[in-house]
Structure 1
Amino acid sequence: MTWRRSLWAFAVFGLVVGCADRERSTLADGRLTATPGGMDFQRVALHDARETEISLRNVGRARINVSEVWVEGPEGAYLATFTDEGPHSLVPGSARALRVRYTPTNEGGQDAVLVVRSDAQLEPLLRVPLSGKGVAAWARVSPGALDFGRIEADSTKTLTLSLDNPTELPVEVMPRVVGADRDEFVVSPMSVAPRSRAELALTFRPTRVGRKQVALAVSPCRGCADLSVKLSAESLEQAVVAEPPVVDFAAVPVDRDDIRESRIRNVSTEPVTVTGLTLDGTDASFSQAPPQVGFPLVLQPGEVRAVPFRYSPGHMGPAEDLARYHVASRRHPTTDVMLRGFGGAAELCVSPVAHDFGMQPLGSKSRVMVNVKNCGATNAGTLTIQSLEWRTDPTGPLQFNHAPLAIPYTLQPGQEVNIPVYYEPTRAGRATGVLVMSTNAYATGTVDLTFRGEALAHAPCELAITPAVVDFGTVPPGRGAVLGVKLENKGRDICPVKNVQLRDNGGGVFSLPGGGLFGVTLYPGDWFSFQVAFNAPILGGSFTGEAQVEQMNPANPLLVVPLVAQSETSCLMASPWYVDWGVARRDCPPEPREVNYLNACTRPVSVSRVWVGPGTTDGEFSVGGVPTPQPFTLQPGEAFTVDVEYAAQVYGMNLSPLFVNSSDLTAPLLVPLIGESSKRMEKTDTFTQQDVSKVDVLFVVDNTASMVEEHPRLVAAVPSFVDTALAKQVDLHVAVTTTGIGPVAGACPGGADGGEAGRFFPVDNSHPRILTQAMADLTEALQQNVQVGQCAHVEQGFEAMRRALSPPLVNNADDPRTPMPRDGNLRFLRDSAALVVVFIGDEDDHSPDGVDTYVQWAQQLKGQNQPQRATFYAIAPTAAACGTAGGAGTRYAEATVRTGGEVMNVCAANYGPLLTAVANKAFSAQDRFPLSDAPEPGTVTVTVNGQPAAGWRYDAPTNSVIFTAVPAPGAKVAITYRRSCAAR
């Protein structure tokens, strides 16, 4: 390129010279000089630049025009330009400046020539020598990445890069941050002296939360290509967080406390100082628990500190407070933790906790109901069943299961749920299963329920099913119908049957009115029936379904019964839509029934057949009085009636379809026939006569801590009870026990630490425990014994009663299970005496079993059909609540009603009237004995102590035997009668 430019310049120069020769004299030529006459740029860093100015002066006698300047030398190393725009005409003595820039492109010396072209005749090209030396000089940058870690937004962190200049020239480093979040970083250029090291500071000042998308571009020298430094950085909303943000103590009894931890974690990568901890103090139930953490403290990156808090509920119901950790932070000066609790804990009552299914046939299915109840006070919070899981059986597949329960399952105070648990043996021999129940109950969160059973192999089942198909024929839309399926054991060994249920409900139209049968064992020749219902949809249609029966027969374990039904509008209207004879007897079959069929259409209808279809027991039902000959025609509005009889010869439930074929239906019209034949003919009700002079009275007194107000009222009412008993000259046995079952603390008197568990108070015999009317100090002694103290936690009045009057306590002078001597209840309960139980408590009963269980137990103890022989009374909470009572005593109220007693509000100021009423009612003779069934006239016979009795009559309106000569106390009364056919 340089030689081509020279040739071009030479040609131009020739032309210019030629022109100049023609226009001026050579004697008046100008002359151009350069100052300085040569330039050495010396050492310059590669990609850096150094500039200088050269002055061009006209030292001749004529004007000179400078037309062009350039540099001949290494390409790109030198650049020459005028400092002004021109024109560049120099009169004699004037000067113009040129700027020459040296930018070395390679290391080492680089010589060049500055060429200036003018119109001077003698020296049109002025040449000025240039020289310079390129030196490789740039900074070395390290490291290649910077990690700012995680810091809280609105804070600052600075990291540095090391810049090393090993050369003899200074280096200027130009950094810049690139990326979406570059505005949150600060960095400035800097110069590094020769042969020295410097630190380049990069500051991270986040204002937005999140990971940063940035990088650092560093030019290690002027003009150098950028080096990339990887940047990692994240800003946090909060450096110190609470785990969890809410410390929930759940439900805690008012007389207890609970300690739980709050944890704070430094989630940043920088140390953070926590200066202190305070509570807002909105509820004094919360406080810090020892050991207390010292402040200030420094949380290292990722460090967790635990701080204990105590919840001691000072009141019932919800409680909240706020704990504040004070943090050295501009953005979040506090980390808040909500403290939450509930005064009054749910209490768990489970029954049974263990059950043995005993010997069962292989392939059977047995069930026990596990009752789970929230037996806490009404205001004590909810009970949540959190999980139900079976432990793995190491001997093989688990043979126990339970019905599904929606988990978590919540029970309000007083609510209960029954959980069916099944034993389905699949192998012979013993089996054990443990169902683990997890709840939020205080102190009893996890309960192990243990189940056992043993399976015995039998011959395969030979099960007959009738009918083979359950055909509902036609049922008008919107109507329902019920038919049956009969299962009969035709074999010579027992047949276990299980999971009798619908396999296909036809889209919801079929159902089992009695529910599915989980399991039953049929002995040879035995049978049973179950009902299947069809509910016809309004839109009608054709429907199919299936019922299933599982039997112990490996070759045919599953039996399927097809279900067929049609629903459409019928011209024939049957009245009634079904016939139910109720319970009948073989020896007196019920009267026939009539079914009327009406043609409700405006067109004639042809009836071709009327018959009883396949049912559970063919032949039990028959139809008569059908018009002949068949088919016959019913004109609009015409009707006919048929007679239907039920023989009642096959014991049990019998179901069959009564069908009518008509010309307007695709399937026969159905009228279900239902009857039950019972074997029961004669029945005997037995009684033990009330002893008007003998009454055993058991007081069951609440000994929990909340009975402070009620105990003095009870003590004050005792004279009213004793005075009434003495006035009636009653042979009286009186004893006291408490509602406490397990020992709690030594604060309660009597020697059992509040856990009498049915033993009469005082257990240590510090006072007489069985009191009688013969005692001169009966009133004072009973007042002493009802002062049972206040220390227990759970009121189990019914359970205490049952234990008190059951072996081994009731028939032993000493309880063989305890070390305490002479703590049995022998000689209290007398067969000839009535039993009266008086419960006193400011909260409802929390015994594990249902009310029915305890009532039936007490009635069997004294005669189930004699309400006066076992009567419950209660001084307990009622609907008219007060501040000293815990909810309504619904269990006590139910029990007193069932036994003929009564309940009085525990909030009453005076208990005397109630105890007087108890005495008056309990000490009355019984002259009326109600029967459990209606007798046939003239079949009632009565014996007293095994001998025919006189002086009695049967009162039909009350279905009772009334004595005019009242049987003597303790007499055994037996009333036998034949159940009335008419009544059945």
Structure 2
Amino acid sequence: MTGRWGIWALAVLGLVAAGCADRERSSLADGRLTATPGGMDFEKVALFDARETEISLRNVGRAPVDVNEVWVEGPEGAYRAEFTHEGPHSLAPGSACALRVRFAPMMAGGQGAMLVVRSDTRIEPLLRIPLTGLGIDAWARVSPRVLDFGRIEADSTKTLALTLENPTELPVEVTPRLVGADRDEFVAGPMVVAPGGRAELSLTFNPVRVGRKQVVLAVTPCRGCADVPVQLMAEALEQAVVAEPPVLDFAAVPVDRDAIRESRIRNISTEPMTVTSLTLDGLDASYSQANAGFPLVLQPGEVRGFNIRYSPGHMGPAEDMARYHVVSKRHPTTDVKLKGFGGAAELCVSPVTYDFGKQPLGSKTRVIVNVKNCGSSNAGALTLETLAWQPDPSGAPQFNHTPLAMPYTLQPGQEVNIPVFYEPTRPGSSAGVLVMTTNAYSAATVELDFQGEAEEHAPCDLTVTPLAVDFGTVPPGRGAVLGVKLENKGTDLCPVKNIRLRDNGGGSFRMPGGDLFGVIIYPGDWFSFQVAFQAPHAGGDFTGMLQVEQMDPANPVILVPLLAHSQATCLMASPWYVDWGVARRDCPPEPREVNYLNACTMPVSVSNVWIGPGTTDGEFTVGGVPAPLPFTLQPGEAFTVDLDYAAQVYGMNLSPLFVSSSDLPAPLLVPLIGESSKRVDKTDTFTQQDVSKVDVLFVVDNTASMVEEHPRLVSAIPSFVDAALAKKVDMHVAVTTTGITAVSGTCPGGAQGGEAGRFFPVNNARPRILTNGMANLTALLQQNVQVGQCAQVEQGFEAMRRALSPPLVNTADDPRTPVPQDGNLGFLRDSAALVVVFVGDEDDHSPDAVDTYVQWAQQRKGQNQPQRATFYAIAPTATACGTAGGSGTRYAEATARTGGEVMNVCAANYGPLLAAVANKAFSAQDRFPLSDAPEPGSVTVTVDGAPVTTGWRYDAPTNSVIFANVPAPGAKVAISYRRSCDAG
């Protein structure tokens, strides 16, 4: 039958059966065979299946019978008959033997046949027994022909099923067989499908080896049927849930900053996977996570992301392990290594916004933008990558900056100043945005905003003196300086700008003070600047050009020629230049001399000695010139001229002293320089300190790295308060933070971490200005110094300056903020000393120099009274530790300048330093140093506005006024004097 495997071919041979009686046959009698049953109906049999039955042959005659052979006549291969025992098969009368008849239909339908038995009987040598049977086409239908187990983790189990359908009326036995290299990882067994039934043949995949599987399932859908191949597709994975990436690298992050990275897990299998939780090993407290939603089921191919936070609390490398807990026999956790480094480049820019205000059209005004790598000393370098202006939609750009070669690298603590100019070419308001890109943490792009307003004025009426700068002759290798004066002769202000060398004569000319970007000259005013010439050793003639741009559409650029000659000279001038320094109108400076020596071996004729064109003619005069002119100097002879400087024109004055000699084509130059100052009378003011009063301001670092230091500070507060109370000091105490810019609403105190000098807590949750009269002073101060750990940049000095400056220091409410009653009014007292205690684990990153803040604080309490403003610090020192960021060099410098102390922030106990602050002896001031030397007899003193003529003396060696009758606490002391002509 088509489509079936094999065809039964039955050739039945007659054999003499063993077990039948073997007797001699009577010659007179005959044997006779009968069959039981006399016919056989096999009924329904499935194709390729078989059914067997036995037929008994009995000798019912009187003589023995030999059964010689049996066969079946009918459909080829459908029937087979054979003796059940080996022959010979001789049957004695009454004995029997058995035949086995098998029906195995090869085709469907009824199949009749005849079983033929041949014996030696004479009556019926061929015994015919009818056989019938019905062949039924009964085999299981298999589907599908492809089973895809997908991708599952090794050591797991997955079961799929084949569908077996039997549409026939006979049961069907199905036998599966696995073929291939990985057959041992699959399990399947035989089963019988009932007539007209449907069944599932289960196939189980139990992988133990990782990789794709090469297996085919051969299904025999019935007995004797050809195999039906079923393709099996399967892959065993080492791990079903994988991390992307397996290592979460936060790179370098500044201490006190937060970095959040997403950790993703992916189910690369084709089965849902259950993730029960996410945990951290806790190897470093800098890492944290607060992800919700566990347990969860990760669908096949699904990716989920979870945030991991890195907030470095210490410098250097930090590692931890995040573990996703998975329901898996092979890999119960999916691990993600966490890497980070505490300390990175930090960008501090000041200012980020600037308003140039109203400026005359055609002017050029400047602001310096300070860019600093304010990261800790052991952090990375800061790279400024690009610096460019956004296009101005209203027209030509009105702002520009001095170019800076990019990329520009700043090591920790280094800074660069970028001049930004407002150079209006049209009236009205203008705005500009300077965009800076960097590698700094959280500052990849910074926009600096500028604005200004240009006003129209009358064209300039500018006079330039001299019209040309002639250096005459300068010996090779020597340099000389002359000047140019710009004077506004008009009745309106005159803006000038871009004063620079258009032609520097091959590098021989320069401006010692650098290019002048812009100056606004008011009517009648003037200023001068220097131009230098450096004579090359080869000598020669040199020309150059100086340019001055002015606001005059008819003559926008003034050009000033520069001339110089250089060669060896016979006349040797001594000195080569004359500088009177700073002088006064009423104190004419001493005359000076210049000596000229003929250093040649031949006579030299001198034809003239004169003062050439300079910035202000008449300020310098020459006398004592030998007469008559010309005169001759023999070799080795010399002459001297007298020079006077009148110092009547305020400002810097420069003129050339020329001597014409026979050996030179251009006169020999000796530059003359002097400056006339208006400073004559001066008053130094002081406020006498009250030894019983002190205003103490704590400036506490509120960045994230202060985890270890804040508890130490809180523990030390009782020592401070106890010492202060023991001294019976009338004390004001307040706390602010090093934070200037708001960071997050999670910060305590109501200012989002950006107190910007406002006392903590800004929201007035507790008293902000504490006094020694408060019964719970210690507890309140301990609470107020707990400022949180959420800011980003430590600007302690800037916070102090803002806290003690208007509008905070003199108003109860800061008008610039929405928070009510957040001013610092009532803290600072004129009669009290000022003590500022800085607490931080990293150095200060305020924008200005240390000296600027020190001078500001000292002047805040009265000029020349440095002991009334003292700085203390708990900060990093040269002895570093893991919780400190670099060294506190700025804090150390400030404390040294003010006579304070600094303690290592790594110390376990801050109590001794705070006790020293409270125990400092605030003695009354009896010595008041003056800022300049007075003329003898010019010193006068007032106390609280009343003249004081006795009880004090001027001490010249220390340039101080010393009181015998010490002024009372809080007294206003004013010391006036006339500056000595020798004061400089």
Question: So what's the TM-score if we normalise by structure 1?
Answer: 0.66
- Deviation digits for residues 166-187 of structure 1 (CA, Å, limit 9, x no counterpart): xxxxxxxxxxxxxxxxxxxxxx
2:866 alignment partner, SS class: coil
Quote the Cα distance in structure 1 between the aligned partners of 2:507 and 2:464. Answer: 24
Q: Is the 8 A contact 1:259 1:289 kept in 2?
A: no
AA in 1 matched with 2:962: I
Trace 1:344-383 onto structure 2 (pairs within 5 A): 344-383=343-382
Question: Does residue 1:699 correspond to 2:698, yes or no?
Answer: yes
Separation in 2, partners of 1:379, 1:518: 38
Matched ranges for 1:460-609 at <5 A: 460-609=459-608
The 2-side partners of 1:531 and 1:946 are apart by: 45
Secondary structure of the 1:868 match is helix
Contact 2:315–2:884 (8 Å) recurs in 1? no
The aligned amino acid for 1:546 is M
Q: Which residue of 1 aligns with 2:252?
A: 251
Aligned residue identity for 2:448? L
Q: CA deviation at 1:287?
A: 14
Question: What residue number does 1:623 align with?
Answer: 622
Q: Is 1:348–1:373's contact at 8 Å kept on the other side of the alignment?
A: yes
Taking the TM superposition and a 5 Å limit, the aligned residue runs for 1:114-125 are none
2:959 is aligned to 959
Change over 3 Å in CA distance of 1:517–1:819 after alignment to 2: closer
Which residues in structure 2 correspond to 1:41-190 (within 5 Å)?
none
- Letter of the 2:966 counterpart: V
Q: 1:822 to 1:623 in 2, by over 3 A?
A: closer
1:502 aligned counterpart, secondary structure:
strand
Do the aligned residues in 1 keep the contact of 2:861 with 2:869 (CA within 8 Å)?
yes
Q: Distance in 2 between matches of 1:309 and 1:790?
A: 20
Q: Which moved more, 1:252-261 or 1:941-950?
A: 252-261
| Deviation, structure 1 residue 905 | 2.6
The match for 2:801 is 802
Contact 2:933–2:983 (CA under 8 A) maintained in structure 1: yes
> Which one-letter code corresponds to 2:957 in the other structure?
P
Contact 1:286 1:309 in 2 (8 A): no
Are 2:890 and 1:891 equivalent residues in the alignment?
A: yes
Match of 1:709 in 2: 708
Q: Kindly indicate whether the alpha-carbon contact (under 8 Å) linking 1:342 and 1:381 is maintained by their aligned counterparts in 2.
A: no
The CA distance in 2 between the partners of 1:812 and 1:981, in whole Å, is: 44
Structure 2 CA distance for aligned equivalents of residues 491 and 817 of structure 1: 42
CA separation of 1:539/1:710 partners in 2, compared to 1, >3 Å: closer, same or farther?
same
Deviation at 1:796, TM superposition (A): 2.3
Task: Tell me the distance in 2 between the aligned counterparts of 1:607 and 1:687.
Answer: 60
Q: 1:486 to 1:375 in 2, by over 3 A?
A: same
Q: Is the 1:706–1:790 Cα contact (8 Å) retained in structure 2? A: yes
Partner of 1:981: 981
Matched residue, 1:393: 392
Question: Distance in 2 between the 1:764 and 1:790 partners?
Answer: 17
- Pairwise CA distance, 1:953: 1.5
State the shift of 1:781 in Å.
Answer: 3.6
Number of the residue aligned with 1:661: 660
Aligned to 2:454: 455
Question: Which amino acid in the other structure matches residue 425 of structure 1?
Answer: P
Judge conservation of contact 1:594–1:644 (CA < 8 Å) in 2.
yes
| 1:412 partner amino acid | Q
Q: Deviations over 1:558-604 (max 9, x none)?
A: 11111111121112111111110011111121110011111222222
Question: Letter of the aligned partner of 2:418 in structure 1?
Answer: I
| CA contact 2:611–2:622 (8 Å) conserved in 1 | yes
Gaps of 5+ in 1: 1-243, 263-280, 298-304, 322-337
Whole-Å Cα distance in 1 between the matches of residues 688 and 983 of structure 2? 29
Opposite residue 660 of structure 1, the aligned amino acid is V
Deviation at 1:818, TM superposition (A): 5.9
Distance 1:725 1:311, change over 3 A: closer
Residue 445 of structure 1 corresponds to which residue in structure 2?
444
Amino acid aligned to 2:759: F
Q: Using the TM superposition, give the Cα deviation of residue 388 of structure 1 relative to its aligned residue in structure 2, in angstroms.
A: 1.6
How far apart are residue 397 of structure 1 and its match? Answer: 0.8
CA apart distance, 1:799: 2.9
Maintained 8 Å contact 1:862/1:869: yes
- C-alpha change, 1:600 and 1:826, in structure 2 (3 Å) is same
User: Which residue does 1:726 correspond to in 2?
Assistant: 725
**1:904 is matched by which residue type in structure 2?**
M
**Residue aligning to 2:688:** 689
Whether the 8 Å contact between 1:249 and 1:311 is mirrored in structure 2 is: no
Give the residue type in structure 1 aligned to 2:980: S
Which whole-Å CA distance do the structure 2 matches of 1:287 and 1:919 have between them?
40
- 2:6 maps to what in 1? none
Secondary structure at the residue paired with 1:590? coil
**Using the alignment, how far apart are the partners of 2:912 and 2:381 within structure 1?**
36
Offset, 1:686: 1.3
**AA of the residue aligned to 1:880:** T
CA shift for structure 1 position 743: 5.0
Aligned length: 705
Structure 1 residues 482 and 441, CA gap change in structure 2 (3 angstroms): same
Residue matched to 2:105: none
Give how far 1:256 is off. 3.4
Q: What residue identity is the alignment partner of 1:434?
A: V
Q: Cα 1:521–1:808, aligned 2, differ >3 Å: closer, same or farther? A: closer
- Cα distance in 2, alignment partners of residues 705 and 289 from structure 1: 18
SS in 2 for 1:926: coil
Query: 1:320, 1:472 → 2: CA distance?
Result: 69
Measured after TM superposition, the shift of residue 728 of structure 1 is 3.3
* Conserved? CA contact 1:351–1:849, under 8 Å: no
C-alpha separation in 1, matches of 2:749 and 2:557: 62
Can you list the C-alpha shifts for 1:868-898, whole angstroms capped at 9, x where unaligned? 2333221211233232211122222333344
1:461–1:707 distance in 2 versus 1, CA, 3 Å: same
What do residues 344-386 of structure 1 show as CA deviations (whole Å, max 9, x unaligned)? 3322222212111111111111111111222222233222222
| Alpha-carbon distance between aligned partners in 2 of 1:932 and 1:404, rounded to the nearest angstrom | 40
Match of 1:872 in 2: 871
**Aligned-partner residue type, residue 773 of structure 2:** A
Query: Structure 2-normalised TM-score?
Result: 0.66
Give, in angstroms, the shift of residue 685 of structure 1.
1.2
For the 8 Å contact 1:391–1:436, the answer to whether it is kept is: yes
> Does the C-alpha gap of structure 1 residues 475 and 249 become closer, same or farther in structure 2, counting only changes over 3 Å?
farther
Could you tell me how far apart the structure 1 residues matched to 2:779 and 2:341 are? 42
The residue number in structure 1 matching 2:837 is: 838
String of CA shifts for 1:61-107, please: whole Å, max 9, x gaps.
xxxxxxxxxxxxxxxxxxxxxxxxxxxxxxxxxxxxxxxxxxxxxxx
1:636 lines up with 2:635 in the alignment: yes
1:770: how far off?
Answer: 2.1
Structure 1 residues 951 and 721: CA distance shift in structure 2, 3 A: farther
Partner of 2:846: 847
The range that moved more, 508-517 or 827-836, is 827-836
Q: Which residue pairs with 1:971 in the alignment? A: 971
Deviation per CA, 1:186-224, whole angstroms, max 9, x where unpaired?
Answer: xxxxxxxxxxxxxxxxxxxxxxxxxxxxxxxxxxxxxxx
Which residue number corresponds to residue 207 of structure 2?
none
816 and 640 in structure 1: CA distance in 2 versus 1, 3 angstrom threshold: closer
SS in 2 for 1:798: helix
Letter matched to residue 422 of structure 2: Y
- 1:316 Cα shift? 4.5
1:633/1:551 Cα in 2 relative to 1: closer, same or farther (>3 Å)?
same
| Amino acid aligned to 1:406 | A
Alpha-carbon deviation of 1:632?
1.8
Q: Distance in 1 between matches of 2:959 and 2:768?
A: 42
Q: Residues 666 and 397 of structure 1: is their aligned pair in 2 closer, same or farther, counting only changes over 3 Å?
A: same
Native 8 Å contact 2:687 2:971 kept in 1: yes
AA aligned to 2:834 is L
Q: Which residue of 2 aligns with 1:927?
A: 926
Aligned to 2:650: 651
Q: Which amino acid aligns with 1:956?
A: A
- Cα deviation per residue 1:500-544 (whole Å; 9 max; x = unaligned)? 111111111111111111111112221111001111122222211
CA displacement, residues 297-327 of structure 1 (integer Å, 9 cap, x when unaligned): 9xxxxxxx99999895877457999xxxxxx
For the 8 Å contact 2:384–2:409, the answer to whether it is kept is yes
